[in-house]
Structure 1
Amino acid sequence: TMHEFTKNPRRRTIWVNAVRTTSEGRRSLMESLSGTKIPYLCASHFLPSDYNHKAPIRMLRINAVPFFQDPSEEPCREPIKYSGGVLLEETVADEESKAGVERSYACLQCGKNLGSKAN
């Protein structure tokens, strides 16, 4: 499962600090977040307690924070698939903000790539 990087400015800063351990890495990530590509993190960077288990689909809690994981230590889990392709769940569902934005379905942290498309 892939989760869109949060758009909330306060939570975005928390997420950046959680997945980048150096000031250079944090600065670089913040710059890339202002671009046209929407970054994603895979489910391997969240704990089971980060999910709302009462929701009908697997959704992150509003206060979920990803954790740093060295990609060389443990690969991301395989995406959940359904007959139409890969199921991608997003933390934000604001269609207006997505118009004309290129989506890269690759995990920002470990690089697991699920392809890309332009909206």
Structure 2
Amino acid sequence: MATLEEIKELLGEPGFNWSDPAPWVRLEQELGVSFPDDFRAIADAYGPALIKKGFYLYHPGHPIRNLGEEIKESIESGLKKIQQSSFPVGQGLALESCCRSQQAQHQRPSSCKYHTSRQLFGP
């Protein structure tokens, strides 16, 4: 990733200049991840912004273009797409031995990929 100085050369002086780390700390704790320092520095400097058509920079402290909300919406959208997809069992998929057919007796449901995905995403 480019450094903040390199980004300044491309975009000019930043106007957001966020200095409170609390939104980052909350978001990282909630998601169980750490964002790279250079990304945080760029987001803190420029805040939520449209960099180029279709390329947004979000910040966890902004009420409208909130990074945490955007991540959650992306996850929810992805899960809905997965739920709406139908994967025919036994037709070209490499299944665990306990799930070689839809009527299989599940001998190891906790380790079965098909069975576990049904628990996560519904029948």
The TM tier, using the shorter chain, reads: under 0.3
Please identify the structure whose Cα radius of gyration is greater: 2
TM-score by length of 1: 0.24
Structure 2-normalised TM-score?
A: 0.23
Which structure has greater strand proportion? 1
